[in-house]
Structure 1
Amino acid sequence: MKIKLYENNKHFTAGMTMKDESGLEKNNMALHVCKNPDHVVENRKMLAAFLNCRLDDFVCAHQTHSANFHRVTLEDKGRGAGQSETAIPDTDALYTFEPNLLLCTFTADCVPVIFSNKVNGLVGVIHSGWQGTVKEITLKLFKHLKQMEGCHPGDFHVQLGAALSQEKFEVDEDVYVKFKDLGYADDFIYYNSQTGKYHIDNQLTVKKQCELAGIPADQIKIDQTCTYLSPDGFSYRQNKKCGRHLTFVMRKR
């Protein structure tokens, strides 16, 4: 099983599963896009064993490219872990103060965001495809954490996982306008006059949103692996029937 560990210490575990040709369904982790749900559950159990936790420690959401987020409590433990019907509905970001819950998000080109706060122990994940980015899910969540949870932006560390590169994220004018209207994404867009397409760096746009929320730039890391170009990547743009990466974070007790 191919896994990228972005952080693994006495406080937090965070990482991202990758495509693996030798695994069941190439290490697909998503129940909503699979040939056999049992294969996905088996992959998740293997991940749980690697992380020294259990499948029912997982917490998953039904992602809808929204700007909705959910504070995870112990009552949410196991939701979406073994069957998609129990996942937290209509939600694209999860956060918690509780230890030993593995918060999960699923991507195939979209930007997965992992964040942790060593001062108060809060951890979370965000699914930010281009729709979530133009809805400013990341900026809205960090503003909420500041205003409603008493977090200080300077206490956060953020990791952006593997995603579609600017080279491969080419869009028409309708999507370009949505990024343009944000007012701060111009530096992350270029126009290809030969193809008539705009190319957008979704990762750098999300990074900018973190900075606008007050998170220091040097506390934001980016995995520059392109999910389209890398053999370890699931890419919806390349193959609409592909599997999904699982990006995770857990606060340790």
Structure 2
Amino acid sequence: MKTKIYVDNEKFIAGTTLKDETEFESNNMALHICESTDNVLMNRQKLAAALHCDVDHFVCTHQTHSANFHKVTLADKGRGADNPDTAIMDTDALYTYEPNLLLCSFTADCVPVIFYNEANGLIGVVHSGWQGTVKEITLKLFKHLVEVENCNPSDFHVQIGMALSQEKFEVDTDVYVQFKDLGYADDFMYVNEETGKYHIDNQLTVKKQCELAGIPSQQISVDTTCTFVSPSCFSYREDKQSGRHLSFIMKKKD
């Protein structure tokens, strides 16, 4: 069971699973795209054991490239953990104050965002494909956490996970215009004069959204691993039938 751990301290554990040819379906973690749900459940059980929790502690969503987020309570424990039909619908970000719940985000090129608040123990995950980025899901969530949950943005620590690199994220004018219209993404785009295609750094655009929410840039880390290039990664752009990584965070028991 290959994982990359970003944070493991007395309060939180956070990381992502990796592609692993020795595991079922190369360690695919997604029930919505798999050859066998049993295979994925076996992989999830191995992950749960490694994290010293149970699969029924997982909380999963039905991701739709929306800007919708959900505050997780104990009533959500186990949603989507072993059946996609019980997942939280039409949602691409989760946050909670509860311990021992593993918040899950599934990606294969999209940008996963994992975060925790050092002061109040709030944790969360975001799935930000390019559509979620132009809908500003990360910025909207952090604004909500500041305004509604009374969080201080300087208490957040953010990990932006591995994703499709700018070199490999090649788009046409329609997508470029949507990023251009954000008003702050110009530095993260260039045009290839030979192909006429635009190249966008989705990770750095999301990082900018975190900064616009008031999070200090030195508390935002970016995993620059390119999912298209790395053999440890699934890539939807490379293979439409690819599996998915599971990016996760859990607050350890108080």
1:30 aligns with 2:30: yes
1:2 maps to 2:2 = yes
Distance 1:193 1:32 in 2: 38
Paired residue secondary structure (2:198)? strand
Q: Structure 2 CA distance, aligned partners of 1:82 and 1:116? A: 25
Deviation at 1:118, TM superposition (A): 1.2
In 2, the alpha carbon distance for the partners of 1:239 and 1:55 equals: 28
Give the Cα–Cα distance (whole angstroms) in 1 for the partners of residues 5 and 242 of structure 2. Answer: 22
Structure 1 stretches of 4+ moved >6 Å = none
The one-letter amino acid of 1:57's match is H
- 2:230: which partner in 1? 230
Q: Give unpaired runs (5+ residues) of structure 1.
A: none
The one-letter amino acid of 2:107's match is T
Matched residues in 2 for 1:142 and 1:50: separation?
30
Matched with 1:21 is 21
In the alignment of these two chains, the number of paired residues is 253
Matched residue type, 1:139? L
Aligned partners of 2:64, 2:37: CA distance in 1, in Å? Answer: 20
- Amino acid aligned to 1:165: S
Partner AA of 2:3 in structure 1 = I
Report the counterpart of residue 120 of structure 1 in structure 2.
Answer: 120
Q: Which runs of structure 2 are paired with 1:37-52 in the superposition (5 Å)?
A: 37-52=37-52
> Deviation digits for residues 104-141 of structure 1, max 9, x if unmatched?
00000000000000100000000000000000000000
Counterpart of 2:46 in structure 1: which amino acid?
M
- What is the match of residue 211 of structure 2? 211
AA in 2 matched with 1:113:
V
Query: Over the residues paired in the alignment, what is the CA RMSD in angstroms?
Result: 0.3
| Partner in structure 2 of residue 80 of structure 1 | 80
Other structure's SS at 1:159 match: strand
Taking only the aligned residue pairs, the percentage that are identical comes to 71
Deviation for aligned residue 1:21 = 1.1
Q: Output the amino acid matched with 2:196.
A: G
* Cα distance in 2 for residues equivalent to 1:238 and 1:107: 13
Q: Structure 2 stretches of 5 or more lacking a match?
A: none
Q: Does the alignment pair 1:95 with 2:87? A: no
For 2:43 and 2:23, how far apart are their aligned partners in 1? 8
Q: Which residue of 1 aligns with 2:170?
A: 170
Aligned mates of 1:252, 1:203 — CA distance in 2 = 28
User: Which residue is 2:62 aligned to?
Assistant: 62
* Secondary structure, aligned partner of 2:157: strand
- CA displacement, residues 171-202 of structure 1 (integer Å, 9 cap, x when unaligned): 00000000000000000000001111000000
Q: What CA distance in whole angstroms lies between the structure 2 residues aligned with 1:198 and 1:142?
A: 28
CA distance in 1 between partners of 2:23 and 2:227 (Å): 18
The answer to whether residue 53 in structure 2 is matched with residue 53 in structure 1 is yes
Q: Which amino acid aligns with 1:195?
A: T
Q: Distance in 2 between matches of 1:194 and 1:23?
A: 41
Deviation at residue 56 of structure 1 after TM alignment: 0.3
- TM-score of the aligned structures, taking structure 2 as reference length: 0.99
Distance 1:100 1:168 in 2: 37
Counterpart Cα distance in 1 of 2:40 and 2:13:
21
Query: In 2, distance between residues paired with 1:122 and 1:68?
Result: 18
Q: Which amino acid aligns with 1:250?
A: M
Q: TM-score, normalised by structure 1?
A: 1.00
2:239 paired with 1:239: yes
Residue 22 of structure 1: how far off its partner (Å): 1.1
Q: CA deviation at 1:42?
A: 0.5
CA distance in 2, matches of 1:201, 1:115: 20
Rounded Cα–Cα distance in structure 1 between residues aligned with 2:170 and 2:62: 26
